[in-house]
Structure 1
């Protein structure tokens, strides 16, 4: 029997070219891996009709706008027996952008479709070409994901013997092209180190901070032949626009934080801290920045998401340091404990971040002004996002079980 998988693209922008690329990847998976691929497009853009025309040629595409997503989620939440269904629905489909929430929706829809794994791509990518052929990440993913680690063939095997009977829970790679966080224009500027080093873990040495800044958001080497490493994967080596999960995504959700980058990387850290087997491959996607991000409005919105990411790391570092398993109850307890920290250290981070943006000058001064104007709200939201995350973790098992029993009328 073919294994059914979900290949998902969340989007809030025009991306017909990317959809054509991912459709080709789905066809490749069905042809070379005997997989039953369900292509899922979660579309919050104004270009639904154009996307629908592109997807009309896909064999098994499910293209859902936000009203259809909300219809499904409302049924799932009601079926789950949640004590506060309104809050859960808001966390799954918030009014503001959320990278974690859109991926959580994909996880639930994949469960409804009967898919055993989820493979995520983003709307601002295309695939490398090597020796005249597209380099599809799904080839590496399906060669390992969900199989006992001892049965996986890799170029390098760094997995401890005690982990070999576990299944491969994650397979992923990185990117080439534009930086994953849009700070390339200021990489050599005064103030770049001051800004980017703010996401380092508390207690990091100066040398560790400089190494982090040098490595952050920069991607990997172009493809020159497959190189796969079986290991517990270092979170710094993979990106969420080139990732796949088996099992783990049904145990633990992603933080549903709004207006922030990085909220969707949490499961990569769970896999690392829990010691779950993973495959690190080198079929990197090509990342590019859309023109909208360079407009004044797009620039300011993106930089404020980066600012909130830095403030959120006060809580995530606390969680990562203490997390030792993929047990949902334990993770929820640690998340709640992180919110009991005093706020003063994060207030200092906000102050240093404002200074760093002012030092960069130009239109970054406007970002500094916005941080100063909304400092208290940003600090409150960063903490509340973690409280909401713990609430979602508590409800996640029931939501996944309910999703499996909820029909998708538009499938």
Structure 2
């Protein structure tokens, strides 16, 4: 008979998930209450208000989708897109391809533009494609952990509004550790997850929806109910998912609390605490913390004599892609780091598989001791693998950043 779950001690310094903040874990150990208990509905209301601050938005429809960050992505796309809708996806890494796949499953006509991995798009590139495609929706990732790049978004909302397109953003890897401004940037729908810069476990997907996007979703609900109202633009196709139908989920989180599913109470406790801690720290302070420790890790790996992939000027604060030295077995070195030091770093995908490691400094692990410990351990496993590294160079370079 198996015993209780007892995971080994790990320092998770990959691209996510990361070690959850102990305060989040404590919040998640609280006892359950009924989903319509006044205490529970109050926690839901508080969670909505907290995530409005996290997303930097006044959107009424700001809440949680129960599921991992991908559930949030699917909920957004399946609720916005009807078969035949044109969608534009600027692809600069693996997770752009994910948006393409999900949109295609919605029956959309998907158009893409691409830049080489390690680069991002200029606003003019996106606008030219929007003008040519005339999409209903532009779907973009802010931070793609496969390449570590962070796509600038500040100009894209205006571009989309000029061409009457909605703008969706997947901010799973970036929210909380990089500048983000839903309303100021004109974003219509944003989804995220807890397991990166927000410092929690995977399993809850915060989402915020603009009034423009709400109108599109609500119009489809009217069609399903056989209602036609002035201004309805839906062509009569029902939302393909019941569970991820944002029209129903909005009613569930709204003042009527219409039953849709049983809320994932423990995940709500955790998501609420993630947002509470971020708001308490201050969004600008949290971004600055991620920038500091990310810079220390970046300079640390350079101090070891290792190369860094991609346009560093466009890199996310919270993850760096480290080029695997010639002659070093990347998988064996990662395994040694885990076995000897209990530290996990990430491999990569597609054209970068076997070429880079991805090292994260995010959420609860965006702190000095985690950075210095990882760099010291990485030096030792690289030496054991026969790599020529600068003795003490990683920790020394990082300490200079902190000084």
Report the TM-score when normalising by structure 2.
0.27
Alignment TM-score, normalising by the size of structure 1: 0.27
Structure of greater Rg:
2
Bigger helix share: 1
